[in-house]
Amino acid sequence: MPTLPRPGYHNGGRVTFPVSQSVLDADALANELTRRYAFSGKVRCQLLSRGMNDIYRVEHSKGPHALKVARSGKSNDDEFAYEQDYVNHLSSAGIEVPNAIPLADGSLFFSVDAPEGKRQIVMMRWLDGEPYTNSVNDDDALTLGAFLGNIHLASQTFTTSHRKVVASEPKLAERLPFLLELMRDRPTDHAFLERAGATVLKRMAALDQSAVPKGPCHGDMQCANVMRLSSGALAVFDFSDCGTDPLAKDIAAFYWRNDFDGRPESVNQAFVKGYNSIRSLSDEEKAAQPLFRLLRHLLITSTMAQYVNRIGPVPGFDKNIDYYLDMIRRYAEEAQAN
């Protein structure tokens, strides 16, 4: 069975039992923010959600902010700095994002030592709006596709001294064994997933980068990571998976969420139509969509299998694994990777 590294917590020379992912104390965070951001007056932190990152709401004299505490090992400091630079670049280009708020010393994030290891922390603009989660129709998708196109256009001028890649392929190679372990008593499914994974990795490596160009990407451009602000403008958030990647692969994240929510294919078609109105997909990028879609389904399903003991069961995953396998089989057939 694959295992995750779980360092112990050294407390006065005593090593405590290992943890996978801790929860930072909200009051201690408030004190740390007061010191690092030179806040005056009362500062309050409230944990809002746990998952791949922990999100807090910060209340203080200058208004609410969001606070992201990254999972230990998710990114190194260079990659985390890339993320903040990219988000701030998009903000300067007029894209509504949760841009990083500088600390008193001018830096954009800091780190603390948690029991499982170092965790990076960034305080961000609070976005006041509602995410696109339960209801996305064709008209919404048309608008969202154009929004992604504008994000990619704005990304063309992004420069940074830091480096980060989306790295879906090495992530799949790392996480697929956890899914295969779940299939240990289902040899037919086990063999299919092994074969599909190997084919995806081989074909991704063979993509012609001149015909399927790379650039800065969001990395998880599903509708649940876009919200309509109270002002009426669109905003995009959760850049944890951003980095250099094939631009057209950002579309596959939108496809995946629609598959997950059971939306009709017309929503995907409207999204691509909106995207093409801003940045036209090449024939090669269009042809690669089934491969990107398969990669996304394989990666997300493998990720849920890997992290079930870290963030808890994902609703609908452990009791409905056959649904996810059906999606993988469907797009493996479309991508001719079965």
State how far Cα 6 lies from the chain centre.
23
d(CA 95, CA 152): 11
- Show the domain range for 155: 138-334
Percent helix, strand, coil in the chain, to 5, is 45, 15, 40
Do residues 208 and 304 share a domain? yes
pLDDT of residue 262: 87
5 inside domain: no
Question: Which CB contacts under 8 angstroms, 24+ apart, belong to 105-108?
Answer: 105/36, 108/81, 108/84
CATH of the domain at 77: 3.30.200.20
Number of domains in the chain: 2
> Dihedrals φ, ψ of 103, to 5°?
-70, 175
255 inside domain: yes
d(CA 208, CA 225): 29
Distances (CA, A) of 308 to 54, 258, 322: 16, 23, 17
pLDDT of residue 4: 47
Do residues 154 and 285 share a domain? yes
Average pLDDT over residues 176-204: 95
Q: Confidence class of residue 3 from pLDDT cuts 50, 70 and 90?
A: very low
Cβ contact 328:302 at 8 Å: no
Do residues 119 and 150 share a domain? no
DSSP 8-state symbol, 165: B
Average pLDDT over residues 291-300: 96
Q: Which of 102, 126, 150 is the last residue of a domain?
A: 126
CATH of the domain at 301: 3.90.1200.10
pLDDT of residue 63: 84
Q: Which two tokens stand for residue 186?
A: 């289902």
Average pLDDT over residues 108-115: 96
